[in-house]
Amino acid sequence: MNVPIHEPGRTLGFWYGDERITFERVKRRQGSDKVLIKVHPDCRVVVSAPEGSHDDAVTAAVKQRARWIHEQLRDFRQQQEHITPRRYISGESHYYLGKQHLLKVVVDPDQPQGVKLLRGRLEVSVRAAEADKVKALLNAWYKTRAREVFNRRLDALLPQTLWVTERPPLRILTMQTQWGSCSPQGRITLNPHLVKAPRECIDYVILHELCHLAEHNHSERFYRLMGQVMPRWEKVKSKLDDMVYRYF
């Protein structure tokens, strides 16, 4: 009953030359009998396979794409070499609603501390040039904007989910492994980092949780509901998966 940031699964692997390639095996929804392989930018290899398929058969299918997987991993590792940890200084790129914004840190002991979105840049005013303070102010700003955006999108999407009779309570909570979740009592929780993603990705996560109000498991009925309210949801999910390393 949640949208994981990294989809958990059973870990399998095989040797390709002198490299051990490991992958997460996750359940593919009913009605799909093919093995689907996805290499993510953070170098996770995720394989969706029918629940009844034996691990050996799945591994054999993945081995057939071993060269392609190896090349994808090589390319993503080369990209990661150029990614430096955030230092929260002027000139860095930070995301909001899927768009990149340059960070500008303004140090002024006499001005109120806070964050403003001005002409394509995020301007953070601080009394001293301290990275931890800039980070804290940015996180607080994202959380405030997330609450506004998520509530607005929830209201816009509710008319599509005819099975929802009352507006569910919404909570904003920073999570390390989930974009969103739905409690047995019907409360939806969303990760404020999600506000860095494009609107369609935000809508996907909200609709995912709204579908869980009708179907608590990832059953065939759940996927039918998702297909009704967002026919392209799998492509949107893939887009969110591919960008996750830029949003944290």
DSSP string, 11-78: EEEEEETTEEEEEEEEEPPTT--S-EEEE-TTS-EEEEE-TTS-HHHHHHHHHTTHHHHHHHHHHHHH
Give the pLDDT score at 120: 85
pLDDT at 93 over 70: yes
Residue 130 lies in a domain: yes
Q: Which domain holds residue 169?
A: 148-246
Residue 43 gets the label, from left (phi > 0), alpha (psi -120 to 50) or beta, of left
159 and 74 share a domain? no
Q: Are 216 and 160 in a shared domain?
A: yes
Query: Mean pLDDT throughout 10-19?
Result: 91
Q: What is the pLDDT of residues 18-46, one digit of tens each?
A: 899 999 998 876 656 789 999 988 888 99
Task: Please tell me the pTM assigned to this model.
Answer: 0.79
Q: Are residues 157 and 138 part of one domain?
A: no
End-to-end CA distance of the chain: 22
pLDDT bin (cut points 50, 70, 90) of residue 228 is very high
Total domain count for the chain?
A: 3
pLDDT value, residue 79: 74
Instruction: Write the pLDDT tens digit of every residue in 122-152.
Output: 999 999 989 999 999 999 999 999 999 999 9
pLDDT band at 160 (very low <50, low <70, confident <90, very high): very high
Within a domain: 154: yes
- Report the alpha-carbon distance of residue 72 to residue 21 in Å, rounded: 12
Kindly state whether residue 227 falls inside one of the protein's structural domains: yes
**pLDDT value for 241:** 87
Q: Which of 139, 146, 136, 115 is nearest to 104 (CA)?
A: 115
CB 86 within 8 A of CB 247: no
Q: What is the 3-state secondary structure (H, E, C) of 95-145?
A: EECCEEEEEEEEECCCCCCEEEEECCEEEEEECCCCHHHHHHHHHHHHHHH
Mean residue pLDDT across the chain? 91
Q: What is the pLDDT of residue 3?
A: 75
